[in-house]
């Protein structure tokens, strides 16, 4: 009896420990989620160091009801005896991405593409930079696939709205690249610190890469700032010979050079100087950090375009939930995704610069089950730059929203923000407070933290919610046009 290709690959792959399945089965596919498995699936299940749940709890939640006949893990698990009929294979330490890569090469081989892969990392601005790059390359006839926070886009059209990841797991990323093969010349990838640390981009060689900035975030996962930076710096390992890293942060460039000999050159870029014509046509370029994002995207695009072709701000379009503006008389409403202290400070200082005579009313919250240390820092930033503040819920996840707000309040002892826990009511309250001001008095209402997201996550459930929808609802309620 001839073996199927996946069974053959299992047999020829080195593992630290293995137990063959109780009965022979024809293997047909690989999965990273147990609920997607069928009777011929190999489930690749990784036990992450930052997951404090017991093996028994993970078994009950993810493995007990799975249809998979074969399980591949990165370590020994206490629940193996509860899976007596399954084939179980445990990878050697540090071998996880390489083993998955072999199976992906079999089922989802990487196709040769004309312009290759480009990766973008950084605390803030990854999505905007990728979408700017997409716009400029499309304007010059290049076919572009983007993968990131906004999902998957093919030539500017969304094909997967929300993958749930900035950098999808290795199997999912390779599957997506395979599904759309032959329809793109270039892939622009957002490379998150989680994705780089977990080697989700393993096997993908980057033609060039970009790094936007660096500030405190995700310490709930990385533990400290040094580990977070080290995870970001792993993007250097993915850049192919002859490529380079472009960066719009002088601090990041200096810190990388302090690491000693680097595998690729680093090129620092400053904010792109733009005249009034550009700002009038593309108001989002009034923000300095967006001009930096544009400079980074333009430099990366220029490495791909011929000498007669030049990237231009004229090809840019606004990015969903990134400083999306509505102006009604003297009132300007902004929906943004800023959810770190540095991003909030950049947004608010640029609003001050762009609207020097306006008052600023800021609505924001912080997510639950994430870096708690940044909450008071975000509160301090908003209190420093805003005239009025409304605190509300973001994605509380498993935390009490009021406790999250208490953490924020610790950073703004001298301010008197209004607290409206339920976000839709908070947005309505922002409109009411703007309506209370004289109509000839300029104000900016900044609604930030969720941006493109169309949900609020609480206790394991994502309920539909959109800041953009709430803005439209309140514009109609007040008759503002």
468 with 451, same domain? yes
252 and 384 belong to one structural domain: no
Average the pLDDT over each of 43-47, 128-132, 213-217, 396-400 and give the range with the smallest value. Answer: 213-217
Tell me which of 315, 336, 362 is where a domain ends.
315
Please report which confidence band the pLDDT of residue 217 belongs to, taking 50, 70 and 90 as the band edges. Answer: low
Determine the 3-state secondary structure of 196 from DSSP: helix
Q: Does 143 lie in the same domain as 84?
A: no
Global confidence as pTM: 0.87
Q: Above 80 in pLDDT, residue 294? A: yes
Please tell me whether residue 252 adopts helix, strand or coil conformation: helix
| Counted domains in the chain | 3
Same domain? For 76 and 137 the reply is no
* 356 and 396 co-located in one domain: yes
Question: Is the pLDDT assigned to residue 113 strictly greater than 80?
Answer: yes
Residues 334 and 446 in one domain: yes
Residue 218 binned pLDDT confidence (cut-offs 50, 70, 90): low
The helix (run of H) or strand (run of E) holding residue 456 is strand 455-458
- Distance of alpha carbon 425 from its chain centroid, rounded? 27
Residue 223's pLDDT is 75
- Are the C-beta atoms of 109 and 178 separated by less than 8 Å? yes
- In this prediction, residues 226-248 reach a mean pLDDT of 96
**pLDDT tens-digit readout, 153-196:** 999 999 997 777 899 999 999 999 999 999 999 999 999 999 99
In terms of Cα–Cα distance, which of 382, 351, 350, 352 is closest to 366?
Answer: 382
* Domain of residue 93, CATH code: 3.40.1390.10
* 280 and 262 fall within a common domain: yes
- When the pLDDT of each residue in the chain is averaged and rounded to a whole number, the result is 94
127 plus 260 within the same structural domain: yes
Cα 296 to Cα 300: distance, rounded to the nearest angstrom:
6
Same domain for 349 and 255? no
Domain that holds residue 33: 5-107
Answer yes or no: do 136 and 74 share one domain. Answer: no
Residues 209 and 244 in one domain: yes
Counting Cβ atoms within 10 Å, is residue 293 exposed (0-12), middle (13-18) or buried (19+)? buried
CATH number at residue 471: 3.90.190.20
45: CB partners within 8 A, 6+ apart: 32, 34, 62, 63, 71, 72, 73
Residue 282 phi, psi (nearest 5): -130, 85
- Residue-level pLDDT at 222: 66
Question: Worst-scoring range by mean pLDDT, 96-105, 350-359, 433-442?
Answer: 350-359
């Amino acid at each position: 009896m001839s073996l199927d290709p996946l069974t053959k690959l299992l047999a020829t792959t080195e593992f630290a420990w293995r137990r063959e399945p109780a009965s022979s089965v024809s293997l047909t596919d690989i999965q990273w989620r147990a609920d997607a498995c069928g009777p011929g699936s190999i489930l690749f299940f990784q036990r992450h160091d930052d997951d404090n749940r017991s093996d028994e709890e993970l078994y009950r939640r993810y493995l007990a009801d799975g249809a998979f006949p074969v399980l591949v893990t990165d370590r020994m698990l206490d629940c193996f005896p509860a899976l007596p009929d399954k084939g179980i294979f445990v990878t050697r330490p540090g071998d996880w991405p390489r083993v998955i890569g072999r199976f992906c090469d079999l089922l989802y081989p990487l196709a040769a593409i004309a312009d290759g892969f480009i990766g973008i990392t950084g605390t803030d601005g990854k999505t905007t930079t990728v979408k700017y790059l997409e716009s400029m390359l499309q304007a010059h006839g290049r076919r572009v696939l983007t993968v990131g926070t906004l999902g998957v886009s093919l030539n500017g059209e969304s094909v997967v709205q929300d993958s749930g990841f900035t950098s999808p797991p290795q199997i999912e990323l390779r599957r997506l690249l395979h599904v759309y093969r032959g329809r793109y010349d270039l892939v622009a990838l957002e490379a998150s610190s989680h994705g780089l640390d977990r080697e989700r981009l393993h096997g993908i060689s980057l033609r060039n890469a970009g790094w936007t900035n660096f500030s405190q975030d995700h310490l709930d996962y990385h533990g400290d700032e040094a580990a977070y930076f080290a995870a970001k710096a792993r993007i250097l390992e993915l850049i192919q010979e002859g490529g380079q890293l472009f960066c719009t942060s002088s601090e990041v460039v200096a810190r990388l050079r302090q690491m000693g000999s680097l595998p690729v050159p680093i090129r620092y870029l400053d904010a792109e100087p733009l005249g009034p014509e550009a700002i009038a046509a593309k108001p989002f370029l009034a923000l300095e950090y967006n001009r930096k994002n544009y400079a980074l995207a333009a430099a990366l695009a220029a490495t791909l375009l011929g000498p007669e072709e030049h990237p231009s701000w004229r090809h840019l379009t606004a990015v969903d939930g990134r400083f999306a503006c509505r102006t009604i008389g003297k009132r300007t409403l902004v929906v943004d995704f800023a959810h770190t202290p540095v991003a909030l400070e950049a947004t608010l200082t640029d609003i001050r610069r762009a609207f020097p005579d306006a008052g600023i009313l800021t609505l924001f919250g912080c997510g639950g089950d994430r870096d708690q240390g940044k909450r008071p820092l975000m509160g301090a930033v908003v209190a420093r730059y805003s005239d009025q503040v409304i605190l509300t819920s973001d994605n509380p996840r498993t935390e009490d929203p009021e406790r999250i707000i208490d953490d924020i309040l610790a950073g703004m002892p001298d301010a008197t923000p209004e607290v409206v826990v339920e976000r839709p009511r908070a947005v309505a309250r922002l409109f009411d407070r703007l309506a209370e001001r004289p109509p000839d008095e300029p104000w900016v209402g900044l609604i930030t933290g969720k941006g493109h997201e169309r949900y609020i996550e609480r206790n394991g459930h994502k309920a539909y919610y959109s800041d953009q929808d709430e803005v439209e609802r309140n514009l109609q309620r007040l008759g503002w046009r």
